[in-house]
Structure 1
Amino acid sequence: MRITKEPEERKQEILDTAMRIFYEKGYDKTSIADIAKDIGVAQGLCYRYFPSKEALFDSAIDQYAEELVSRFSVPPDSDKLTLRELIETMPVMVETEDNAYYKTLHVVENKKFHDQLTLKVCEKLSKIVIKLLEQAKEKGEISIDDVQTAAFFCVYGQIGILLDRTYAAEEKERRIRDFLIYVLRL
C-alpha cells in the first residue's frame, strides 16, 4: 500500500534514514537504493528530492549545522546584555550524542564529514557573531575597526580548542570564554 506524505515530511524522512544508514553501513557502502528500500519507497522518489547521494549528504550537513547554530540562539533581550554577559552565558558545546547525525559525523571513519560540518557551523555562526560585535561596537563596548575579521577569528579560532581531546568540555568552555573576553578587551 502506498503511503503519501507531505513533501517536507518525506524529505526529512529520507534525510534521517540516510544518516542512520550512513552510520550503520558507512557512507561509501550506502546507496540511494539502500535508503529507499529502508523507507519502503521507490528509488526514484529519493532522487526527486536529492539528485545524488552527495547532494543528500550535503543537505543533511546543512540542516544539522542550522540546528546546531539555532542552539546558540541569542536571547531576545540580548540588546540589554553586554557582550561580556553574552559571552559568559553562551553555550560553547551544543551537540549531544543521542541522534544519528551526531553518531554519523563523529566516527573516526567520517572525519572528513565532521570537518565539513564544523566549517558549515562556523559559516552560519559567523553571521550571528558579526551582528553581536556590531551591536557591541555601536554601544561602545568594543573598539574594533574590522568587525568581520574579529568575528571570523572568534568563531573559527575556537576549532582547535573544541577538537582537542585532552581537555574536558568544561575546560574547553572556560578557555574559550576567557580568551574571547581577553581578545575583545571586555
Structure 2
Amino acid sequence: MRVVKEAEQRRNEILDAADELFGQKGFDGTSTNDILQKVGIARGTLYHHFKSKADIMDALIERYNVRLLGAAQEIAADKSIPVVERIIRVVMALNISGGSSEEIMEHIHKPQNALMHQKIQKVIINGVPPILTGIIREGIEQGLFNTPFPYECMEMVVIYANTVFDDDMVTMTDEERFSRIQAFIFNVERLLGAESGSLMDTMRMFGREDNSGNM
C-alpha cells in the first residue's frame, strides 16, 4: 500500500535526507538518485517539491537562516539582558566565534560544502547587522554608545568577525586568536564611541582568563 504523506512532511523528509547526505558526501558528491533512495520516493515526487538539487540546497539554506537569525532575534528582543551582553550573545548564537549553532556551522565548514558555506555567510552578513543595530540604538539612548552610524558600525563588525574568526578563512593559533579578539573589542569600542575598556569584560564570554583570574 502506497504511503501518502502531507506535502510539508514529505518536503522536510527530503531536506533532512539531503542535509545528511551533503554532510557525508558533499553537495557535488550527492546525486538526486542518492536522495531518492534515502527517502524512498519516486523522482516525480522529488521534482514536485524541488526543481533541482540546487533548489534543495537553497531550501536548506533558508532553513538554516530561520534557525540562525531566529535565535539572534530572540536574544536581541530580550530587554532583560543588558545591552552589551545582548550584543555578545547575538554574535555567539550565530557562531561567528562559537555558539549554539555549532552543528550547522560544523556541517557547512566541510570542504565539500563550500557553496553552502558561502551562502550562509551571505545570510549572516545581510541579516545580522539590522538585528544588532536595534541593540546599538538602545545603547545610544542609554548613553553607552555615541555613533551616528549604528548600522554601518555593525556591518563592519559582522563582516570582520565572520571572516577573521572563520577558521576556513584565517588560520590562527590560540594566542593569535586571543590577540585578535582583544584588538577587535578595542576597536569596536572606538567605532561605537563607547568608554575605553567598557567592552573588555566581554572577554569572559570567550572563556579566556589569565592566571590571576582576570581577563
Whether the 8 Å contact between 1:87 and 1:180 is mirrored in structure 2 is no
Is 1:123 paired with 2:126? yes
Aligned ranges for residues 90-109 of structure 1 at < 5 Å?
90=90, 91=92, 92-94=97-99, 95-97=101-103, 101-102=104-105, 104-109=107-112
Structure 2 partner of 1:171: 178
- Which of 133, 136, 143 matches 2:136? 133
Gaps of 5+ in 1: none
User: In structure 1, what residue type is equivalent to 2:193?
Assistant: R
Is 1:151 paired with 2:159? no
**Per-residue deviation, residues 33-53 of structure 1 (Å, max 9, x unmatched):** 321221011112221221111
> Structure 1 residues 32, 89: CA separation in 2 closer, same or farther (over 3 Å shift)?
closer
Structure 2 partner of 1:50: 50
Taking structure 1 as the reference length, the TM-score comes to 0.79
CA root-mean-square deviation:
2.9
Q: 1-side partners of 2:136 and 2:122: how far apart?
A: 20
Q: How much does 1:172 deviate?
A: 8.4
Q: How much does 1:114 deviate?
A: 1.2
Aligned length: 182
Q: How much does 1:167 deviate?
A: 4.4
| Identity rate, percent | 23
The structure number with the bigger radius of gyration is 2
Structure 1 partner of 2:207: none
Q: How much does 1:17 deviate?
A: 0.5
Specify the SS of the correspondent of 2:165. Answer: helix
Q: How much does 1:152 deviate?
A: 1.0
Higher relative contact order (CA 8 A, sep 6+): 1
Q: How much does 1:166 deviate?
A: 1.3
Gaps of 5+ in 2: 195-215
> Structure 1 residues 28, 87: CA separation in 2 closer, same or farther (over 3 Å shift)?
closer
Specify the SS of the correspondent of 1:142. Answer: coil
User: In structure 2, what residue type is equivalent to 1:113?
Assistant: M
> Structure 1 residues 24, 183: CA separation in 2 closer, same or farther (over 3 Å shift)?
same
Is 1:114 paired with 2:117? yes
Is 1:67 paired with 2:67? yes
